[in-house]
Amino acid sequence: MSNIHGPKASKRRLLMSVTTSILLYGAEVWADALRKDKYSRKMTGVQYQSALRVSSSYRTVSKPAIMVIAGIITIALLACENKYIFERKIEVGKAATKEKARSRNTEHWKTRWTNETRERWISQLTNSIAPW
């Protein structure tokens, strides 16, 4: 998809959600495998390409910055979230577990973003990740 005269941002975001769903298939089982850098890089690469298309950005933007601009939580965090929900949904209930897992992920994403050394000029544009 080119950045000019292509699908609108809403259609690109829909395609991104489909890609994320495909990537997260069975994440409850293989989420721990993303701790290895080899697997994490492959999955993040696919997500990075989709995030570039959603935000209509160039490939020179760093991965953490494009994820914030596109408003996409990294695949490793989403896989861990799915595993957390799967393991604890019986104890507390699925809705409460989902809410807690998403808030944990958002906080973890915020700390990753504040500790990131690349693309610090974007942090001046995005004071908070929550609206993005």
pLDDT tens digit sequence for 61-109: 888 878 878 888 888 888 888 888 888 877 777 777 887 788 887 777 7
- Answer yes or no: is pLDDT of 21 > 80: yes
- 37-55 helix and 9-23 helix, angle to the nearest 10 degrees: 160
Sequence-ordered list of residues with C-beta below 8 angstroms from that of 126, at least 6 positions apart, any chain = 68, 69, 132
Q: Tell me which range, 50-59, 64-73, 114-123, is most confidently predicted by mean pLDDT.
A: 50-59
| Mean pLDDT estimate for the chain | 79
User: What was the pLDDT predicted at 122?
Assistant: 61
Report the predicted TM-score, pTM, of the whole model to 2 decimal places.
Answer: 0.69
Give Cβ neighbours of residue 53 (< 8 Å, ≥ 6 apart): 1, 12, 15, 16
Alpha helices in 1-132 (DSSP H): 9-23, 27-30, 37-55, 63-70, 75-92, 94-115, 120-125
Mean pLDDT, rounded, for 36-46? 88
Is 124 in contact with 108 (CB distance < 8 Å)? no
Model pLDDT, residue 97:
80
